[in-house]
Amino acid sequence: MDKIDKIILASSSPRRQQFFKDFDLNFEVRLKEIEEIYPENLKAEEITNYLAELKAKAFEGEIAKNELLITSDTIVWLNGKALGKPKDYDDAFAILKSLSNATHEVITSVCFKNSTSIETIFDVTKVTFTTLSDDSIRYYLDNYKPFDKAGAYGIQEWIGLIGISKIEGSYTNVVGLPTEKVYTYLTSRLIK
């Protein structure tokens, strides 16, 4: 991939946007609505890789030679099944109930696209929840409304403080972006 001097983040996630601000790198946000549908035969990181690349391909022909487009997708993987963003309150409750007293994987893929090529990386973090009471789940849903988050939770929020007993891997990956991998990738390709 060529050296680049302009970063475009194609994500409406306030958490991902904040990570890029915290990198102290200049970037701009460009958004496109994408229907996040993937083939049923895909598993784990195949799903997030596919969706991150699908989001990047929506910008085909719009990326200048000196620009780098970054797209991303995160899922929660539990018992061979992908848990995305909840459809509604009841779905969020059911998702959190399924995560209670269990270990799941958070998988995030990040796609880097310039005018001539596309590369995708991914990261996997194992997260273990303690037993969550129905009252705790309801309190979290009522007060934090995590309906825009894969797996219906944000590790950085109240539920992470009271419910997560173990994490193996990147914390920021669970928030939505494996920052250490992304920063390493970017700094190896940026013109300072």
Q: Is 37 exposed, middle or buried (0-12, 13-18, 19+ CB in 10 A)?
A: exposed
Domain CATH code at residue 82: 3.90.950.10
Q: Determine which one of 24, 73, 134, 142 is catalytic.
A: 73
**Separation of alpha carbons 11 and 1, rounded Å:** 22
Across the range 124-151, mean pLDDT stands at 97
> Is residue 73 flagged as an active site residue?
yes
Q: Is residue 1 part of a domain?
A: no
The pLDDT value recorded for residue 188 is 82
pLDDT tens per residue across span 55-75: 999 999 999 988 999 999 999
Q: Is residue 111 part of a domain?
A: yes
The pLDDT value recorded for residue 118 is 95
Give how many domains the chain has, as a whole number: 1
Q: Is residue 27 part of a domain?
A: yes
Q: Is residue 130 part of a domain?
A: yes
**Separation of alpha carbons 1 and 119, rounded Å:** 9
The answer to whether residues 114 and 65 touch, using CB atoms and an 8 Å cutoff, is: yes
Q: What percent of the chain has pLDDT over 70?
A: 97
The pLDDT value recorded for residue 41 is 97
Evaluate if residue 3 carries a pLDDT over 80: no
Q: Is residue 32 part of a domain?
A: yes
Counted residue by residue, the chain has a size of 192
Evaluate if residue 191 carries a pLDDT over 60: no
pLDDT tens per residue across span 161-190: 999 999 999 999 999 999 999 999 988 876
- Range(s) of the domain holding residue 104: 6-187
Q: Is residue 192 part of a domain?
A: no
- Encoded tokens for 16: 């991902």
Residues in Cβ contact with 72 at an 8 Å cutoff, skipping those fewer than 6 apart: 11, 13, 16, 52, 55, 108, 109, 110, 111, 176, 177
Q: Is residue 55 part of a domain?
A: yes
pLDDT bin (cut points 50, 70, 90) of residue 192 is very low
- Encoded tokens for 73: 């997708």
CA 107 vs CA 1, 47, 162: distances in Å:
24, 9, 22
Average model confidence (pLDDT) across the chain:
94
- Encoded tokens for 118: 């596309």
User: Which residue has 């699908």 as its token pair?
Assistant: 54
